[in-house]
Amino acid sequence: MNDIIYKSKNIIAVLTISILLSVIHSVYADSASGGSFIDKVYHPYVQPHERDIEFRTLYKKDSEDRAKDNARIHKISYGQSLNDRWMGELYLVGERNREQDFKLTSVELEALWQITEQGEYDYDWGMLFEAEHETQKNISEVSSALLIEKAWGKWVGTANMYLIYEWGNNFNNELETALAMQGRYRLSRQLEPAIEFYSSDTSEGIGPVLLGTIKLGGRKQIRWEAGVISGLDNQTADETYKFLIEFEF
């Protein structure tokens, strides 16, 4: 009983802080820095003794903005669960566009906290904490996201609600909010069709995604995602093609 009360207080506190900060942001936030928020929808779960190597890539097409057209972002990471509630991950991020060769642009640290057991309540809850430093622009960013997931039979809905703070040299410090959502149908373990939606100060898009898991025996498995997100405003690339492959062991 005490454990349930403790978790409930944590969830209420997180929601209250997120709402308050979102209100503050809507009043005081400055203009956006211009980076795309379209990337990945996170799920609020940690597997004990899990380790993974992930490769993620984004490819943008835009008929009107030369800087976005044919731009590529690549991420490679190593992650490891610290216990049955926490997982940490380190990312190296590289980019290239039409005007420059591929180069390392930033380093990211992530920590995922699973707040509730899967199926313990009507909704599953987690938190994601991120820290990033862009080496080329000398801009730093910290963010936190509330992760929420709910299953209805074979349908699963996931929402990531972000609060982001950026600062750096020759840069107006910014407090931003962002939202990533996914609705997917569990057709089979190997194939799950989904639709994803992203919205932030810098980008907004929606599109179809396919996901799946391939078991390799024991704890080893491969998770994959592939999809295309269509931009819904002038700041976002016409299409962002996304691909992810993760080896868990």
Could you report the per-residue pLDDT of 157-172, keeping only the tens digit for each? 999 999 999 998 877 8
> Does the pLDDT at position 12 exceed 60?
no
- How many of the other CB atoms lie within 10 Å of CB of 54? 18
Assigned token pair, 206: 């929606």
pLDDT of residue 10: 52
Query: How would DSSP label each residue in 68-105?
Result: TTT-EEEEEEEEEESSSSEEEEEEEEEEEETTEEEEEE
> Does the pLDDT at position 64 exceed 90?
no
Asked which of 134-138, 191-195, 201-205 is least confident by mean pLDDT, the reply is: 134-138
Closest CA to 56 of 198, 215, 224: 224
Residue with the bigger pLDDT between 5 and 50: it is 50
> Does the pLDDT at position 119 exceed 80?
yes
Q: Is the dihedral of CA 233, 231, 77, 73 positive or negative?
A: negative
Asked which of 33-37, 142-146, 180-184, 242-246 is least confident by mean pLDDT, the reply is: 33-37
> Does the pLDDT at position 35 exceed 90?
no
Q: How many degrees, rounded to 5, is the angle at CA 10 between CA 150 and CA 24?
A: 90
Fold of domain 2-248 = Porin (2.40.160)
Distance CA 50, CA 54 (A): 13
Q: How many degrees, rounded to 5, is the angle at CA 198 between CA 136 and CA 54?
A: 60
- How many of the other CB atoms lie within 10 Å of CB of 64? 9
pTM of the model as a whole: 0.85
